[in-house]
Structure 1
Amino acid sequence: MPLATMTNIGTATTSRSPATKSPCTRGQLRRNQAATDEAATSSGESELPEELLSFVLTHLAGMAVGGRATPELGEITLFEDGTDAAVLAETSRFARSWQRASSVSHRWRAAADEVQLWKVARKLVRGGQLDWSQLKETEGDKAAKCWQSSSTSREEGKDDSWHACTIPETGDETVLLVRKCSQEGVSYDIVRWIGCLQGMRHPCIAALQMVHTSHVHEDGLWSARVYAGFERTDTSLQEIVYGTLARTSHTVVGRPLPALMLRSFLYQLLHSLACCHARGISHGNLAPYRVLAKKLAGEDQYLLKLADFGFSPPTAALCNIDLPIRPSRASPELHADCQFKRYGPANDLWALGTVFAEVACGSRDPTVYMMIQELDSTDEPTLKNNLPMMGTDARNLLRKLLRAEPTDRITAAEALCHPYFEGIHEQCPVVAQYLPRSMPAAPSFLELRADAWQPGQDFLARQPELNRKMWGILYDWLSVVSYKFKFVPRSLQLACDYMRRYLMDTPIERKRLQLLGIGALCLACKHEEVMIPNMNDFIYICDNAYPLEELMAIEVEMLSSLDAQLHMPTVDDMLLPKLVEIGAALALPDADTADTTSPLRQWLQCVTLIGQAHYPVVLHDPAVLARCVATLGALLWCGQTTEVSRPDNGTLEESSTAGGPRPRGAPRG
């Protein structure tokens, strides 16, 4: 059939005479909606009592926003202790939950509009921007000054402002950081700070309460604006010791802390560090002015709050030549004479040891400072003479915190069991109330999972313009980009996780798929890398297919859509412990070569990369992929094995060949 004939047939089929009435009239739409409501009624939806419907929607709002609402008691709280930060944006989880509830029927829409948590959260964001008219700022509030004095960003020349605010409708109090970002997009320290604190629930860590990011046009330029709300505090450890929030020189003398108060403070800080380290996070820049506090009832009763995670060392800084930041209390492995600087939890313990000695003395005595730098070679009488206020157990703990070799340093979890803290729960009411013995241990980093995605979910099924082949092409291209920029493997795998979760809830056009991929990689490298490329470099690698403002916009949109859940375990993280167990990799970087890999580990990373480019593989949980790859690695490393892991965590007993299985480490022949 000629092409013209086919065109005419198609035209005749789809055209209507002027007398034919279009079915897409308003009356027909109303009838369709009525039919939908009638179907919902017949399915039992309308039989749901009003009180039960209100309770269900309030519960859904609380899960999405992170707050708490008990209408029968008149309590509405947007920032609830022990919950994730509320991400306020039109693409965040709270907005999606409201849209889904409202789309059920007119009745559900009316009920959802009356849910107080949703109502307050929607009022705070209007037109994609934070509505300041819904906040009441307290001028001259000390809480804002506490946070401003603790922030490292002022040393970096960042455009920050701190505001102590209250939400009148709920009575929630927060200290709001407003960061005006330039054409770098969302600043890397803000990305790291938010990513570390989202989901961090500990009474001695200053909680992240609210996050809002927006893409604004000012003075002819596009830029990002970040609003981060933090827990309100009253003072800082710096002020408790020295009487001022400002940073002081070594000549200023403060008050030595009483013995019980000193034990309480050290126990609280160790407990908070143990939680951070269990989640794979190091603070990286511990100092008295970065430890905030809440004043409790009673004399000298304080609950400490570890703050300012903006310069928490990323994965790429575990061992490198370039020093990403010079901590104010650098441990020996971070000194300039070390070719390879080793970052990690051990740095925090060294910094805490110096803080321990400082607050015990009430000053930064130069004699004490020089002594603790070489504490391994300091005899006990000298240490006792310089720190007479410390007992035997305190000096012993100080020595373990200040070991020169980081692998010999005591961990935070081990330090909590030191004899120095014996009887602390009976003697200190603050510790007994907020850090009881029954308090569950912090979840392991490898056990963390994002809320928005479950293994096996086909996220491309919700994308009408995308298919599996496009995923493979995109991931293959991103792996080349990651190799060109010399990113660590974790950055690429995090970008994969970000894209997967974003595509679960947000439809995207085919022409913007590459933009999504490079935006995810940009966000991941800001969270994980030391040397971060310029935003224009990412545009250049895309062959200038997108303008800079579109990349900045997708970064802001993705940060909100992911609910700021950026610090997630990857296959590479789960693979390392398994390779360490069979002796195929090092648990910590080597001080002489900075080598953390082995030929087997590099090969398995390539296998993982190839697998994740295959769409059915990427649907599995990272733990399953890590177990499969590690089993293959063990078979190759040991020649043969008596156990092979199964997906259900069981084992298959394999019979050995003639001569029996070869022991680990035996030469291959």
Structure 2
Amino acid sequence: MDVVEQENAERQRRWLKDKKIGEGTYAVVYRGKEANVGRKVAIKKIKIGQFKDGLDMSAIREVKYLRELKHQNIIELLDVFSNKTNLNLVLEFLDSDLENIIKDRSLVFLPSDIKSWMAMTLRGLEFCHRNWILHRDLKPNNLLIAADGQLKIADFGLARDMADPGHKMTWSVITLWYRPPELLYACRYYSSAVDVWSVGCIFAELMLRIPYMPGENELDQLKTIFRALGTPTEEDWPGHTKLPNYVAVGQFPKPPLRDLFTAASADALNLLSKCLIYEPRKRISAKEALSHPYFFALPYPTHPSKLPKCSTRQDTPPPLEDENVKGKKSKGRKRKLSSPEDGKPSRLPFAKRLDFGPALSPRAL
């Protein structure tokens, strides 16, 4: 046995698989623990044998970027080892995800709670962008929650380095409900602004407790966006009619955000609007968003340890590859929210139901 094989065998013995907690087309996730220590981990077994041309690119990306990114608000890759025809990623174990928390109707969100989740998301994203990495699949079930309440960005299977200006990138990324209009129009030259649009959609979802703009396909997604934000003009977004997949989908007036987000503060609506600007170059950056007045006004962000947690403890595996877009058309998240009337996502303004009680005392994150 050579040195590399010996080292791999030692790594394999260090991590013990326990219960299977998730399975996708290309990967299985197990709850596991570290031998002799007992620390809980998630072990993501990627089935290399499934790919004719070698290792799946999403696995390569995930290992590459998680090795590079060490931050409190990004999931930690603890180890990597191979076993026969499988590649195993050992990741820190996390209790839940933001999607589960949003869907748990027993929980009541305070404005300070939403502010805390937003701050942690933007801190993790700003660190990615500072290191020239695009995530390209931000959504609530890719934002995992640790036992201490810390939010961590996960699933870097669609991430990539920011390209030099003029270098083409694929437009078929980001789950549909969180995909910006430039990608829906097949723009091949884009920036970190695509991730910020996704953050805006997540921000809205935290306030509404339902997906903000849930389209059924690319065309319907554009219509849903334009109904929510108004149809862009050349003045709003110069040059968008020249994008490869541009199609006119009707003229919709721009409704005031206040009509839907009735309980939100003026600062919250201002930040939301800056995340959802049509012109990507004018969209706020993650770094600028962290300096927005929203984060410095009362109530201050809830300390992570005091944030709402799901009423039932869950074993939440790292997101699996087939929950990504993977170059295919995607209808939002794998698990859709439903309304009793027609099985489609409800559009009721749940923000009206939030408990916006007295301002809390300042609690730094």
TM over 0.5: yes
Find the counterpart in structure 2 of residue 392 from structure 1. 266
Are residue 130 (structure 1) and residue 4 (structure 2) matched? no
Find the counterpart in structure 1 of residue 210 from structure 2. 363
Find the counterpart in structure 2 of residue 192 from structure 1. 61
Are residue 230 (structure 1) and residue 91 (structure 2) matched? yes
Secondary structure of 1:230's match?
strand
Find the counterpart in structure 2 of residue 505 from structure 1. none
Quote the Cα distance in structure 1 between the aligned partners of 2:173 and 2:257.
31
Q: Is the 8 A contact 2:132 2:162 kept in 1?
A: no
- Match for 2:195 among 334, 348, 352? 348
Q: Deviations over 1:436-473 (max 9, x none)?
A: xxxxxxxxxxxxxxxxxxxxxxxxxxxxxxxxxxxxxx
Find the counterpart in structure 2 of residue 307 from structure 1. 154
Find the counterpart in structure 1 of residue 28 from structure 2. 161
Shift of the 359–426 alpha-carbon distance from structure 1 to 2, 3 Å rule, reads closer
Quote the Cα distance in structure 2 between the aligned partners of 1:270 and 1:254.
26
Find the counterpart in structure 2 of residue 487 from structure 1. none
Shift of the 321–417 alpha-carbon distance from structure 1 to 2, 3 Å rule, reads closer
Shift of the 321–411 alpha-carbon distance from structure 1 to 2, 3 Å rule, reads closer
Shift of the 170–372 alpha-carbon distance from structure 1 to 2, 3 Å rule, reads same
Find the counterpart in structure 1 of residue 76 from structure 2. 207
Quote the Cα distance in structure 2 between the aligned partners of 1:398 and 1:375.
17
The alignment-based identity, stated in percent, is: 22
What does residue range 97-176 of structure 1 map to in structure 2 within 5 Å?
125=9, 130-131=12-13, 135-139=15-19, 144-145=21-22, 154=24, 157-158=25-26, 160-176=27-43
Quote the Cα distance in structure 1 between the aligned partners of 2:110 and 2:210.
14
Are residue 335 (structure 1) and residue 184 (structure 2) matched? yes
Q: Gapped runs of 5+ residues in structure 2?
A: 215-223, 237-251, 307-325, 328-365
What does residue range 240-259 of structure 1 map to in structure 2 within 5 Å?
240-243=101-104, 257-259=109-111
Secondary structure of 1:341's match?
coil
Shift of the 424–375 alpha-carbon distance from structure 1 to 2, 3 Å rule, reads farther
Quote the Cα distance in structure 2 between the aligned partners of 1:171 and 1:424.
41
Shift of the 427–262 alpha-carbon distance from structure 1 to 2, 3 Å rule, reads closer
Quote the Cα distance in structure 1 between the aligned partners of 2:116 and 2:175.
25
TM-score, normalised to structure 1, is: 0.37
What does residue range 419-498 of structure 1 map to in structure 2 within 5 Å?
419-422=293-296, 428-430=302-304
Find the counterpart in structure 2 of residue 267 from structure 1. 119
Find the counterpart in structure 1 of residue 239 from structure 2. none
Find the counterpart in structure 2 of residue 283 from structure 1. 135
Residue 241 of structure 1 and its aligned partner are, at CA, apart by: 0.7
Q: Which amino acid aligns with 1:232?
A: F
Residue 169 of structure 1 and its aligned partner are, at CA, apart by: 1.3
Are residue 383 (structure 1) and residue 257 (structure 2) matched? yes
Residue 363 of structure 1 and its aligned partner are, at CA, apart by: 1.0
Q: Is the 8 A contact 2:31 2:40 kept in 1?
A: yes
Two-structure CA RMSD over aligned residues (Å): 3.4
Kindly tell me the number of residue pairs found equivalent between the two proteins: 276
Q: Is the 8 A contact 2:112 2:299 kept in 1?
A: no
Find the counterpart in structure 2 of residue 72 from structure 1. none
Quote the Cα distance in structure 2 between the aligned partners of 1:408 and 1:278.
18
Quote the Cα distance in structure 1 between the aligned partners of 2:66 and 2:299.
27
Q: Deviations over 1:106-125 (max 9, x none)?
A: xxxxxxxxxxxxxxxx5x71
- Match for 2:280 among 394, 398, 406? 406
Shift of the 394–180 alpha-carbon distance from structure 1 to 2, 3 Å rule, reads same
TM-score, normalised to structure 2, is: 0.66
Are residue 418 (structure 1) and residue 292 (structure 2) matched? yes
Q: Is the 8 A contact 1:257 1:362 kept in 2?
A: no
Residue 213 of structure 1 and its aligned partner are, at CA, apart by: 3.3
Which one has a bigger Cα radius of gyration?
1
Secondary structure of 1:320's match?
coil
Quote the Cα distance in structure 2 between the aligned partners of 1:382 and 1:425.
24
Residue 426 of structure 1 and its aligned partner are, at CA, apart by: 5.8
Shift of the 260–410 alpha-carbon distance from structure 1 to 2, 3 Å rule, reads same
Tell me which of the two structures has the higher relative contact order, counting C-alpha pairs closer than 8 angstroms and 6 or more residues apart.
2
Q: Deviations over 1:642-668 (max 9, x none)?
A: xxxxxxxxxxxxxxxxxxxxxxxxxxx
Quote the Cα distance in structure 2 between the aligned partners of 1:258 and 1:370.
29
Residue 371 of structure 1 and its aligned partner are, at CA, apart by: 4.4
Find the counterpart in structure 1 of residue 168 from structure 2. 320
Q: Which amino acid aligns with 1:263?
A: K
Quote the Cα distance in structure 1 between the aligned partners of 2:164 and 2:294.
33
Quote the Cα distance in structure 2 between the aligned partners of 1:310 and 1:334.
18
Residue 307 of structure 1 and its aligned partner are, at CA, apart by: 0.5
Q: Which has the higher helix share?
A: 1
